[in-house]
Amino acid sequence: MRATIMYGAGDVRVENVPDPSIVEPTDAILRVVRACICGSDLWPYHDMTPSDAGQSMGHEAIGVVEAVGRDVRTVKPGQVVIMPFAISDGTCTFCREGLPTACVHGGFVGNGGMNGAQAEALRIPFADGTLYAIDVTESDARLPGLLTLSDVMGTGHHAAVVARVAPGHRVVVVGDGAVGLCGVIAAKRLGAEQVILMGRHEDRIALARAFGATDVVPERGEEGVARVRELTGGHGAHSVLECVGTGEAIKTCVAVVRPGGAIGRVGVPHYPAIPGADTMFFKNAIVGGGPAPVRAYIRELLPEVLEGKIDPGRVFDSIVGLDGVPDGYRAMDERKAIKVLVTP
Amino acid sequence: MRATIMYGAGDVRVENVPDPSIVEPTDAILRVVRACICGSDLWPYHDMTPSDAGQSMGHEAIGVVEAVGRDVRTVKPGQVVIMPFAISDGTCTFCREGLPTACVHGGFVGNGGMNGAQAEALRIPFADGTLYAIDVTESDARLPGLLTLSDVMGTGHHAAVVARVAPGHRVVVVGDGAVGLCGVIAAKRLGAEQVILMGRHEDRIALARAFGATDVVPERGEEGVARVRELTGGHGAHSVLECVGTGEAIKTCVAVVRPGGAIGRVGVPHYPAIPGADTMFFKNAIVGGGPAPVRAYIRELLPEVLEGKIDPGRVFDSIVGLDGVPDGYRAMDERKAIKVLVTP
């Protein structure tokens, strides 16, 4: 079958690889119906050290279960499922607490010798704990929105939850990528009164406004911080969603959070430490976040996607087949696409 | 009257200064009945640049109101009051939200040209918002415990609240100073199942055990972290209270917090950034804290001190008069006293 492998910065190839097969009795084989390219895939696309073995890519999918191991109890062949980006056994102490991304037997799709989801199929460990069956067909028009529950919509939601968005809050979303845009949706549905998007790409800004952003700040650095202060009555925002992962972005978050406020980080940190130990201290602000426990959020978000109350599928503004994946990376990297949907 | 001035590292003097007087109509004059020396006073005691003007010291007191300005409404002459370390107007948006340490008109006692509380008396701005009247006499035996509500007990409680201590939690308290010891009390009363004190002073450890600590880890650095992991079933602690303020201490907190856990910082940070941006991220742990909004906590903690349910006054193991304050600094600095009570 065919799968996407990255061999170094800018070097993405779609190649023939062995078909996946059941290895453990708790495995399932998933045929991929929809996958996509993640903003986080652009990090190695920029800085990956050349590798002969390569890195299998893709960690978001809607698929159909093709086969299951003998110990799989709830997932059945033929079911359409959401595949969250994190593998989780569903039974450990962290899974039971709603933090499947910290599963003691867990891992992230595409690592540990398994292929990723930008592929025709893949092996899913701990299928019962990892996959989430949904009652739709594989030709349902809502698949793009459902696909976002495997990562970006759940991740934007996580940023908002950790940033303690609540009714009446002033919210800043740092980053206008697909996660930031989903952060806007999340902030709005949690009752934010003001949602300020910090971003500068026209297409993304338009979508952010459609999703409920009340203000847009294209300025960066100190100028951007000053503008947010102005927009928030001088005090900053109750809730700040960090959806980028750079040192400049987290610095901005620290500067715009209000005393007593909270920062939710979901951008994979490409900075060594959280700046402003004293600024954060004297503001009594909190900072949290990490890989979103998206599986734990599906129950809450799924009905709203199915009913069309929220429409995160609109972040996909480009569709490619498997052979088009390298072009998809290029388009996202050049900011010509917000997020690329893949139909293997 | 006499007051304590610090002129540089190790140079604390008790001197004659002008009597305080009402300046603003919202002021009160407080005669100090009990004051004390704070662990945070030891920071300038170590590193203060010599100054001719000096820095007035002391920010914790129980006192009697001697006089009030014409706009003071609730506080009355003759009342015994707790004086929290932060000045707050009681009416701004942050005061109303329970964060008086972020009061838009606020400040910290001992700064802004006013003398501190290691003195016979001091002027209190925004007396109605700042002072908290209590129904005891100035010879009440419970004054030491009540005095801790002006800072250390409220501060230990804040660390525990921010670290989300809840019934059944495993808790680590980093630091065996008076705040750390109050953190043990706070963790216990919020339902912690396990309270691990990281500290190495015999007298403090004994008190921590009396306050409810279940385990003590004297090791520091990696050895200490390994010991905590062992004690917590390998995963670390749900709640970590940072009660020191050094780079080593916060590094330990980041290492011992459990996935999904929280760190409450109350040690004034003497480090530029919160380390482990990626460790914290992949653990999905949160870090918060700052100057404790102790006034907002008095209502909750006061009855338990009055009824003897908690006894934070035991952190005072030395008493001096005003002339003994320089000796008190020395004793705390040399770890010969946990916390020094001052009776002006």
DSSP 8-state assignment for residue A119 = B
Looking at residue B110, its amino acid is G
Return the closest-CA partner of residue B169 out of B180, B158, B177, B161: B161
What value does the mean pLDDT take over residues A209-225?
97
Residues of A in contact with B93 (CB under 8 A): 235
Q: Which residues, listed in sequence order, are joined to residue B63 by a DSSP beta bridge? A: B32, B81
* Closest by Cβ to B284, choosing from A99, A262, A285: A99
Q: Which residues, listed in sequence order, are joined to residue B28 by a DSSP beta bridge? A: B68, B124
Q: What is the distance between the alpha carbons of residues A3 and A152, in angstroms, rounded to a whole number? A: 22
ipTM of the complex: 0.97
Q: What is the distance between the alpha carbons of residues A10 and A62, in angstroms, rounded to a whole number? A: 26
Complete domains list, chain B, with CATH = 2-151+293-343 (3.90.180.10), 155-289 (3.40.50.720)
- What is chain B's mean pLDDT, rounded? 97
B249-276, pLDDT tens digit by residue?
999 999 999 999 999 999 999 999 999 9
Query: Inter-axis angle of helices A221-231 and A247-256, to 10 degrees?
Result: 30
Q: What is the distance between the alpha carbons of residues A344 and A325, in angstroms, rounded to a whole number? A: 10
Min Cα separation A112/chain B (Å): 17
Residue of chain A minimizing CA distance to B162 = A286
Min Cα separation A66/chain B (Å): 32
Residue of chain B minimizing CA distance to A247 = B277
> Inter-chain contact B94–A259, Cβ cutoff 8 Å?
yes
Among the residues of chain B, which ranges form H helices? 42-47, 93-96, 127-130, 143-147, 152-162, 178-189, 202-211, 221-231, 247-256, 277-283, 294-306, 325-333
Return the closest-CA partner of residue A131 out of A3, A30, A21, A24: A30
Min Cα separation A59/chain B (Å): 17
Q: What is the distance between the alpha carbons of residues A254 and B136, in angstroms, rounded to a whole number? A: 43
Chain A to chain B, count of Cβ pairs less than 8 Å apart? Answer: 106
| Pick among A40, A164, A286 to test the B interface (most B CBs inside 10 A) | A286
Q: How many residues does chain B have?
A: 344
| Chain centroid to CA B178 | 8
> Inter-chain contact A290–B283, Cβ cutoff 8 Å?
yes
Return the closest-CA partner of residue A40 out of A86, A71, A2: A86
Q: What is the distance between the alpha carbons of residues B287 and B257, in angstroms, rounded to a whole number? A: 10
A124-177, pLDDT tens digit by residue?
999 999 999 999 999 999 999 999 999 999 999 999 999 999 999 999 999 999
Q: What is the distance between the alpha carbons of residues A192 and A194, in angstroms, rounded to a whole number? A: 6
- Whether residue B231 contacts residue B251, with contact meaning beta carbons closer than 8 Å, is answered with no
What value does the mean pLDDT take over residues B177-198?
98
Is residue B20 classed as helix, strand or coil in its secondary structure? coil
Q: Which residue would you say has higher pLDDT here, A111 or A217?
A: A217
> Inter-chain contact A259–B102, Cβ cutoff 8 Å?
yes
Which residues have CB under 8 Å from A67's CB, separation 6+? A22, A28, A29, A77
Per-residue confidence at A9, pLDDT binned at 50, 70, 90?
very high
Residues of A in contact with B162 (CB under 8 A): 286
Residue of chain A minimizing CA distance to B254 = A273
* Closest by Cβ to A282, choosing from B272, B282, B291: B291
Looking at residue A127, its amino acid is A
Return the closest-CA partner of residue A171 out of A226, A180, A179, A153: A180
pLDDT(A114) > 90 = no
A228-240, pLDDT tens digit by residue?
999 999 999 999 9
> Inter-chain contact A291–B269, Cβ cutoff 8 Å?
no
Min Cα separation A120/chain B (Å): 29
Residues of B in contact with A99 (CB under 8 A): 259-260, 284
B122-168, pLDDT tens digit by residue?
999 999 999 999 999 999 999 999 999 999 999 999 999 999 999 99
| Pick among B244, B286, B295, B297 to test the A interface (most A CBs inside 10 A) | B286
| DSSP annotation string for B113-128 | T---SSBSEEEESSHH
Instruction: Kindly report the number of other CB atoms within 10 A of residue A157's CB atom.
Output: 31
